[in-house]
Amino acid sequence: MGKNGLRLLLAIGVLGGLAFCVSGLRTSQADDDPSASLIGSWRGTRHTPGTIAVRHNLLCFMPGGAVIEAGPSVYVTGASFGNGAFLETAFIGTWVSEGHGNFVAHLISNISEPPAGKGISLGTENLTFRFHMENGKTGKELKGTLEGIFLDPEGNTLAQVPAGFTWDAVPLTITSNGYN
């Protein structure tokens, strides 16, 4: 083998070594940030502080940072604004990874005066979920807190969601009877 052959072989070896090192770096970053594990559908539960009251929700975290909460419109009474009641649509929003299994999702819902046919907008409900992914009894779980604020159509504060709400979720899985 001549000098040119040895140089070519050496160059290929160096390039192969660099490719191996770079692929190893990508693997370690993926281990630190499990964003790919978040993508999919989850069954969530909001826990109200100081009570046994819960609200279940279905969420879909999509690639690119979009999130949708599936659910029926909700009728709420006892509000400190409007006529004391409102209708709430499903939530949509965005999510971002903060690294190391920590995430933040911002979701927004339209709120209006009941009945639905009235169509008088009261503003929006804006939620912020701060959560982390961990290994639970049956696999991956999301656990965190929930903050919220109600804004009128001009962006002025109508009310705050009381502090202390927590939230957890498990991935939807397919079973022989449908979803679990």
First vs last Cα of the chain: how many Å apart?
64
pLDDT tens for the chain, residues 1 to 180: 555 554 544 445 444 444 444 444 433 333 455 678 899 999 999 998 888 988 888 999 999 999 999 876 788 888 888 888 899 999 999 999 999 899 999 999 999 988 777 778 999 999 999 999 998 777 899 999 999 999 999 999 999 988 999 999 999 987 767 666
Other C-beta atoms lying within 10 Å of the C-beta of residue 124: 20
The two three-digit tokens of residue 95, written as one number: 């999510």
Calpha distance 114→122 (Å, rounded): 10
Q: Are 36 and 132 in contact (CB under 8 A)?
A: no
Contact 108, 91 (CB under 8 A): yes
> What is the Cα 40 distance to its own chain's centre?
10
If we measure between CA atoms, which residue out of 167, 177, 164 comes closest to residue 42? 167
% of the chain surpassing 70 pLDDT:
77
Cβ atoms of 129 and 167 within 8 Å: the answer is: yes
pTM (whole model) above 0.85: no
